[in-house]
Amino acid sequence: MTLYGYFRSSTAYRTRIALNLKGLSYDNVSVNLAQDKQLEAEFKALNPQGLVPVLQADDLLLYQSPAILEWLEEVYPTPALLPKDAAGRMHVRALSAMIGCDMHPINNRRILQYLRNELSVEEEDVMAWCHRWMSDGFVALEQRLASNKTRGDFCYGDSPTLADCYLIPQVSSARRFKVDLSAYPNVVAVDAHCRTLKAFADADPMVQPDAPQ
Ligand SMILES: N[C@@H](CCC(=O)N[C@@H](CS)C(=O)NCC(=O)O)C(=O)O
């Protein structure tokens, strides 16, 4: 398999975690978002949306990380990243969607570049935007994690699920934007625990070949 991504991309990062958890090997192709390579014709031939990640698996070109993660789960079911019961799967998908649908997209590079370059929003206000929407999301996530009394060290249950694949990159992004996480102890604890696992550590942006040395 070949993953078209970028070291710092949260959506590529969540895909790397899932691939690693499944024990799947893959080649990395870096699409330099800082240089807007995702908008060039060569990449848009792979994904007309101009967004990473894209995962090539034989003759299949997979796009949209939530769909890629679900595809991985279906095609490589072991180890499972979704619980066995329907209610559990609903919770894991809902936690994932809180991040993937409601937090990440509004703090994405193209949104921030639009604020900066087309609406002339000052950098301080762009940061205020990021902090506002990330914090809103973390407040709700923290409540969800705290209220689940059967939860182990992960977002759900005693083993990693898709929700952890989403959470750890979002925490990483929050730290990069200097969002204060001290009010979210459960979020921070899940993050710390996941980072002890090789699958997560190997997916970390700073150990990717295209990260600055
Ligand atoms: N919903 C898409 C979002 C993908 C996405 O936003 N990718 C970002 C990197 S995390 C990107 O390629 N951004 C390019 C840009 O903002 O121009 C997915 O989950 O795959």
In this prediction, residues 190-205 reach a mean pLDDT of: 98
Please indicate whether residue 68, judged by its CB atom, sits closer than 6 Å to ligand 1: no
159 has a pLDDT exceeding 90: yes
- Percent of the chain exceeding pLDDT 70 equals 100
Q: Which domains does the chain have, with CATH numbers?
A: 2-79 (3.40.30.10), 86-200 (1.20.1050.10)
pTM of the model: 0.97
Q: Are 174 and 138 in contact (CB under 8 A)?
A: yes
54-57: strand order across its sheet: 27-30, 2-5, 54-57, 60-63
Ligand 1 atom nearest to CA at 14: 19
21 has a pLDDT exceeding 90: yes
208 Cα to the center of ligand 1, angstroms? 18
| Residue 23: count of CB within 10 angstroms of its CB | 10
Q: To which residue do tokens 């002890």 refer?
A: 196
Ligand 1 atom nearest to CA at 13: 10
148 Cα to the center of ligand 1, angstroms? 30
213 has a pLDDT exceeding 90: no
Confidence of residue 172 (pLDDT cuts 50, 70, 90): very high
- pLDDT tens-digit map of 96-140: 999 999 999 999 999 999 999 999 999 999 999 999 999 999 999
Return d(Cα 150, Cα 4) in angstroms, integer.
37
Return d(Cα 18, Cα 162) in angstroms, integer.
7
> What's the confidence (pLDDT) of residue 43?
98
Find the radius of gyration of the CA atoms of the chain.
Answer: 17
Ligand 1 atom nearest to CA at 11: 10
